[in-house]
Structure 1
Amino acid sequence: MAEKAFPIGAVLSVVTGRLVSENHMTGIYEVLNYMTGENVFTHQIPRISREAEPVILALHPELRKALPEAEQVNGDNWREWLATWKARYGEEITVPLMTIAQHERIDPLSELAERVHPDKIVVVAPKAPRHD
């Protein structure tokens, strides 16, 4: 099984739904992009995090303790909480690639259209170069 190490704060952010990644949302994108092999869009993060959580916890069952603990995490104490987890398990933790059985691939624009009225979606595409 292929695995890659990421900062523990980014992995905990995916597992708990609390933003404790030191590089903020970038860490979440990096973890989920790796696990899915896709470029995850913002509106996909909640669904894909729900898919990724059991996969990560199967590899690292010790992270289950983070779920109830994270309920107390807020903007004032997240750094202290993260420092506790770093002391327990180190700066980085590995995550696996998800299989086709673990992750449903959905076209990002189709998924967005399911959540937002199509009139609200604006697709921006580069203009084709003119050859005069």
Structure 2
Amino acid sequence: MTETCSVPLADVLSVTTDKLLSRRHVDGVYDLLRHMTGQDVYTHQLGKVADACAPALIEQHPFLADLKPPTGLDRSDLYAWLVEAERIHGEEIAVAPLPEWTHRDPIEDAADAVGADKVWIMRPPKD
């Protein structure tokens, strides 16, 4: 059985929409993606990992497909929209990990993104 956990709807919407709505800012996104993939996610991996997780979130909760904030809202109106979405759908929803996930090495991802010649690995000195 896949272990689910309760996740703030605002964190989920930060992955399924183009808006950072999490009240914990990017920390909420990191925690959600870590739960879904079972691995730590580094900043340069956020986009690709979120893109991989968004369809699974929508599959788990189909209402997310159409739950997008209107364009052009200022910050206060955006948060008013979020509060209304939470009133309708709940402040938290159950999220299961991805059924299949291949671990993504952060160094390899960085090398793929910018070229291996631009990635420097620094290791702490041994005592």
Give the match's secondary structure for 2:41: coil
What's the counterpart of residue 8 of structure 1?
Answer: 9
What's the counterpart of residue 115 of structure 1?
Answer: 113
Q: Which runs of 5+ in 2 are unaligned?
A: none
Give the match's secondary structure for 1:23: coil
- Distance in 2 (alpha carbons) for counterparts of 1:55 and 1:120: 33
What is the aligned counterpart of 2:126 among 110, 120, 128?
A: 128
- 1:117 Cα shift? 3.1
**Number of residue pairs aligned between Structure 1 and Structure 2:** 126
Question: Does the C-alpha gap of structure 1 residues 111 and 122 become closer, same or farther in structure 2, counting only changes over 3 Å?
Answer: same
1:98 aligns with 2:110: no
What's the counterpart of residue 89 of structure 1?
Answer: 89
Give TM-score, length-normalised by structure 2.
0.87
Give the match's secondary structure for 2:93: strand
Cα RMSD between the aligned structures?
Answer: 1.8
- Distance in 2 (alpha carbons) for counterparts of 1:8 and 1:54: 15
- Distance in 2 (alpha carbons) for counterparts of 1:96 and 1:71: 29
Give TM-score, length-normalised by structure 1.
0.84
- Percent pairwise identity: 29
Q: Which runs of 5+ in 1 are unaligned?
A: none
Give the match's secondary structure for 1:124: coil
- 1:2 Cα shift? 1.7
